[in-house]
Structure 1
Amino acid sequence: MGISLHIYGYARINPPDDRTNYALMNFHSSSSQALFNVRDYGAKADGETNDAGAINKAIDAAAASGGGTVFFPAGTYLSGSIRLKSNITLYLSSGSVLEAMDDPAAYDAPEPNPYDMYQDFGHSHWHNGFIWGVNLHDIAIIGPGMIYGKGLTRNISRDHLPKGLGDKSIALKNCHNVLLRDFKILHGGHFGILVTGVDNLTIDNLIIDTNRDGMDIDCCHDVHITNCIVNSPWDDGICLKSSYALGYKRATENVTINNCIVSGDYEEGSVIKGTYQLFPDSVRVSHTGRIKMGTESNGGFKNITITNCVFDHCQGLALETVDGGDLEDVTISNITMRDIYNMPLFLRIGSRLRAPKGTSVGHLRRVNISNIVVYNSDARAASTISGIPGHDIEDVQINNVQFFVKGGGTREQALITPPEKEDAYPEPTMFGTLPAYGFYIRHAKGITMSNIKIRCEQP
């Protein structure tokens, strides 16, 4: 039912016809994998027929043979739940689109999770994803095709989703050795990608143009995110989390984010098209689109690097621990930001403590931020480093920074004393107008700065 190939490590195969013109990732260096064309299993790719049965049949056949590549030739594959298995690669060829159905019975029901009171419903379930897998190893989704979450919902309550609805494009839990590379996600639902408890994860060269979170990396170890473009006007672009969804505290640690672009003010779909159409002023948009750690932060964040990234028409960096985890040992460097709708930098300890009883406030410490250029940010929202009484942010170094802000503050604003809001949801807007235009720092110690330049466009 396909072509048997011997692949060693990473390989790119370029035969003359489209059926076998694909790149293949094999996780076992000396094994052979077969190619399983979904059209051979009954997929119509006409954009009208439900191809879920054929797609899952091809995946089952590949798994039964010990692993293989499930190949999608050009066409539109309308589908409900696609269930991954170990040792499987999905290859989305050029011109192929996996389109999520809007049939209310097309998706698997969300599995029970006795710990879903500690994070929103969307973070607590995976079976209701468009493409999902739990307890798997050696899996990949690659190729220049597209995942279109047309039928996925984004408007769900914090604690419930009706049976049969899907709310995320890719959902993985407790997996290891995972590769996501080269494809596009349009209109991804609540999450374009949700990975929880996933280790040895590579996300490379994706374009995500979506209506809520681009990618959420939750309780994961050994993660590399590179060369990605994420446009998410209504929610976070690249978001690291450490929720309690696994039923225990687990840090997100050993993560690199390199060479990525995040944005928050382009109309959904225009980034994939290459037109980069800004929303008109008449449309209310939250302009989020940022890189963030939090809000879910039970397990904390450790050993994180973010470098060579661009923030475009969005909010700035946010580093938050409010649920008891420790956020520590973070390096951020070589960042440019332009047209920032709030503050460029937001570091926050809080006591929301959406966590099991007895959880104490965490720490935020040992953060190094350097070589940052910011143009046209809101002067009413100074970059903020704010702990809470009795819980200081510690040992933050900020070097070689240029901020060009709008200015226009008043004498009255300089006299404001912002509220503490110790247990509130953390957002850069939480304190309102601040009495500074460069940095606002409180409940902090060991903060060092050098070579800081701040210029206002108007007094």
Structure 2
Amino acid sequence: MIRRSLLTGAAALIALPALAARGLFDVRDFGARGDGVTVDSPAINRAVAAAVKAGGGTVLLPAGRYLSFSIRLFDNITLLLAEGCVLEAADPAIHKGGYDVAEADLPEQFQDFGITQFHCSLIYADGADHVSVIGRGVIHGKGLVREDPGARWHGVTGWIAPRSADPKEVAMQGKGIRALGLKNCRNVLVRDITILQGGHFACHLLGCRNATIDTILVDTDRDGIDVDCCRDVQVVNCRVNAPKDDAIVVKSSYALGRKIVSENISITNCRTSGFAMGSVLDGTYRASDYRSVDDIGVLGRIKLGTESNGGFRNIRISDCDCENTRGILVGVVDGGVLEDVVISNIVLRNPVNHPLFVRQAARLRAPEGTSVGACRRVRFDTIQVSGADGRYPCGVQGIPDAPIMDVSFRNVLVVSSGGGTAEDAARTPKEKRESSLEVSFMGTLPAYGFYARNVRGLTLTGCTFEVEKPDARPVIVLDDVKGGRIDGFASNTVVQKNGSDITTVS
């Protein structure tokens, strides 16, 4: 019988136990202790190397607490976190060692440092096929960082390139920024795991094809699940609590050095929230005291389009429940085309800002010469909203040189606090062409139900907007909206400015 505590180094690759012969590689057989004190990543990586040498297999982390720096996965490798296993991200300021060095140093970095860099993760794969992270264990990103140097591009004051000249990026070397990152991978499965405190990104896919994220719980203080420049991805049955950033977000960044469309992506039967980090995992659901830079409060939302260089096509968001979050926000701000998006069968409870919003802008955090892009064919269907803030109705906001095209809202019920004043009704919200996707800069809107500006082709059918307190604003305000149909509202409840060809049927 092989004593696990003595099996280390090259011996582990030679004297494999019987389980390894059947494709199961127990990290304890390669020297891992799981005592929460020993840094076990060298032993875990030896187990991975043995599985790779065997042509693939399952690397098992049994019950225990495994302190770890970077673990890299390869083709045909499954990392199995057994029930009772906690994989804890080590802290290089406390523990001996560090995370793998960030790999990319693009001349311009049009997105946050962490979106571009993947090797500085607790678990990662780069260019792997048939790679999985599964099991009922927990990833605790205790030693990961949640902040990074941000973007580095020609639109940023004090822009420095390359990385070697930027002291903020140099200081990131050796630090870990995400719990799980999969880059340029095919045939990916992430299932059943729990991630607590996932760093800047808890579960992040970049440039992946044919991926499934199924039944995972993320309880974190930055992004929960990010799907970026990917194709054929399912996010299903997931629970994501992210009070300080987006819960589930689809992006199309320039992190791979080219424009890539994110397409054929579905987010189904998921729940998102913005409670205090850890309180969904422990079942207490405590309120978060987080105040964002715009002072609206928590995030925790489902979002599409933070980075939009490559654009989006054929996106489905359905049968989801969002509680105590920002509303669902979709759009483009960095060029690219967003088209054929369907959002249906959604329940939103106590959204802290606009329940449903489509946004087109021209921040253009992208290579010079990038055009504004387009946003078209977006459908909202069968959505129920309760406890909404009366200041922030649903809406669609384009810009004069790039109006949003062909948007419809069907069977949408919104119950908000109301209370708008005559002064609110007289407001003309500011236009901000070069903005990010967030629309909080517009402030209180002049309608209590729905506001649209710079739109071509708008349909509202079977929609109901109710208020709990009397509201002096009209239900709907349309400004520079041309073409469309508004059903179910008396003409005196709909204000039209600078528009044409709008049919209103009461």
Q: Secondary structure at the match of 1:272?
A: coil
Structure 2 equivalent of residue 106 of structure 1: 98
Structure 1 equivalent of residue 109 of structure 2: 117
Structure 2 equivalent of residue 314 of structure 1: 325
Aligned partner of 2:239 among 216, 229, 237: 229
Q: Secondary structure at the match of 1:56?
A: helix
Measured in 1, the distance between the counterparts of 2:379 and 2:288 equals 34
Aligned partner of 1:348 among 359, 366, 371: 359
Give, in angstroms, the shift of residue 248 of structure 1. Answer: 0.5
Structure 2 equivalent of residue 269 of structure 1: 278
Instruction: Give the residue type in structure 1 aligned to 2:366.
Output: A
Q: Secondary structure at the match of 1:435?
A: coil
Call closer, same or farther: CA 1:281–1:202 in 2, change over 3 Å: closer
- Identity across aligned pairs (percent)? 48
Deviation per residue, 1:309-353 (Å, 9 max, x gap): 001000110102011111100111100000110010110111111
Give, in angstroms, the shift of residue 380 of structure 1. Answer: 0.8
Give, in angstroms, the shift of residue 117 of structure 1. Answer: 2.1
> For structure 1, which segment, 391-400 or 103-112, has the greater mean C-alpha deviation from structure 2 after superposition?
103-112
Structure 2 unaligned spans of 5+: 1-15, 152-168, 471-506
Q: Secondary structure at the match of 2:280?
A: helix
- Is the Cα–Cα contact under 8 Å of residues 267 and 279 in structure 1 kept in the other structure? yes
- Is the Cα–Cα contact under 8 Å of residues 243 and 288 in structure 2 kept in the other structure? no
Measured in 2, the distance between the counterparts of 1:438 and 1:294 equals 24
Q: Secondary structure at the match of 1:398?
A: strand
2:441 matches 1:449: no
Give, in angstroms, the shift of residue 112 of structure 1. Answer: 2.6
2:174 matches 1:164: yes
Q: Secondary structure at the match of 1:49?
A: strand
Structure 1 equivalent of residue 27 of structure 2: 38
Q: Secondary structure at the match of 2:42?
A: helix
Structure 1 equivalent of residue 415 of structure 2: 404
2:287 matches 1:295: no
Query: Highest CA radius of gyration, 1 or 2?
Result: 2
- Is the Cα–Cα contact under 8 Å of residues 330 and 367 in structure 1 kept in the other structure? yes
Q: Secondary structure at the match of 1:354?
A: coil
Q: Secondary structure at the match of 1:224?
A: strand
Structure 1 equivalent of residue 484 of structure 2: none
Aligned partner of 1:199 among 202, 209, 216: 209
Give, in angstroms, the shift of residue 156 of structure 1. Answer: 2.1
Q: Secondary structure at the match of 1:53?
A: helix
Give, in angstroms, the shift of residue 286 of structure 1. Answer: 3.2
Structure 2 equivalent of residue 416 of structure 1: 427
Q: Secondary structure at the match of 1:430?
A: helix
Instruction: Give the residue type in structure 2 aligned to 1:278.
Output: A
Give, in angstroms, the shift of residue 96 of structure 1. Answer: 0.1
Give, in angstroms, the shift of residue 172 of structure 1. Answer: 1.4
Deviation per residue, 1:188-237 (Å, 9 max, x gap): 00000111100000000000000100011000000011000000000000
Structure 1 equivalent of residue 156 of structure 2: none
Deviation per residue, 1:88-120 (Å, 9 max, x gap): 000010000110001244211111331552111
Instruction: Give the residue type in structure 2 aligned to 1:342.
Output: N
Measured in 2, the distance between the counterparts of 1:353 and 1:76 equals 45
Aligned ranges for residues 420-431 of structure 1 at < 5 Å?
A: 420-431=431-442
Instruction: Give the residue type in structure 2 aligned to 1:439.
Output: F
| TM superposition score normalised by structure 2 | 0.83
2:155 matches 1:179: no
Across the aligned residues of Structure 1 and Structure 2, the Cα RMSD in angstroms comes to 1.6
Give, in angstroms, the shift of residue 430 of structure 1. Answer: 2.1
Structure 1 equivalent of residue 377 of structure 2: 366
Call closer, same or farther: CA 1:64–1:285 in 2, change over 3 Å: farther
Structure 1 unaligned spans of 5+: 6-31
Instruction: Give the residue type in structure 2 aligned to 1:176.
Output: R
Aligned ranges for residues 362-401 of structure 1 at < 5 Å?
A: 362-401=373-412
> For structure 1, which segment, 354-363 or 275-284, has the greater mean C-alpha deviation from structure 2 after superposition?
275-284
2:208 matches 1:219: no
Instruction: Give the residue type in structure 2 aligned to 1:85.
Output: F
2:118 matches 1:126: yes
Structure 2 equivalent of residue 23 of structure 1: none
Give, in angstroms, the shift of residue 434 of structure 1. Answer: 1.1
- Is the Cα–Cα contact under 8 Å of residues 36 and 68 in structure 1 kept in the other structure? yes
- Is the Cα–Cα contact under 8 Å of residues 79 and 106 in structure 1 kept in the other structure? no
Give, in angstroms, the shift of residue 424 of structure 1. Answer: 1.3
Deviation per residue, 1:136-175 (Å, 9 max, x gap): 1100000100100000001222143521110111111111
Measured in 2, the distance between the counterparts of 1:149 and 1:399 equals 41
How many residue pairs end up in the alignment?
Answer: 432
Q: Secondary structure at the match of 2:175?
A: coil
Measured in 2, the distance between the counterparts of 1:232 and 1:418 equals 29
Instruction: Give the residue type in structure 1 aligned to 2:252.
Output: S
Deviation per residue, 1:251-294 (Å, 9 max, x gap): 11001111000001x12111112222223699988310000012
Structure 2 equivalent of residue 71 of structure 1: 60
- Is the Cα–Cα contact under 8 Å of residues 292 and 318 in structure 1 kept in the other structure? yes
Aligned partner of 2:78 among 80, 89, 98: 89
Give, in angstroms, the shift of residue 85 of structure 1. Answer: 1.1
- Is the Cα–Cα contact under 8 Å of residues 33 and 67 in structure 1 kept in the other structure? no
- Is the Cα–Cα contact under 8 Å of residues 311 and 338 in structure 1 kept in the other structure? yes
- Is the Cα–Cα contact under 8 Å of residues 80 and 130 in structure 1 kept in the other structure? yes
Instruction: Give the residue type in structure 2 aligned to 1:427.
Output: E
Q: Secondary structure at the match of 2:364?
A: coil
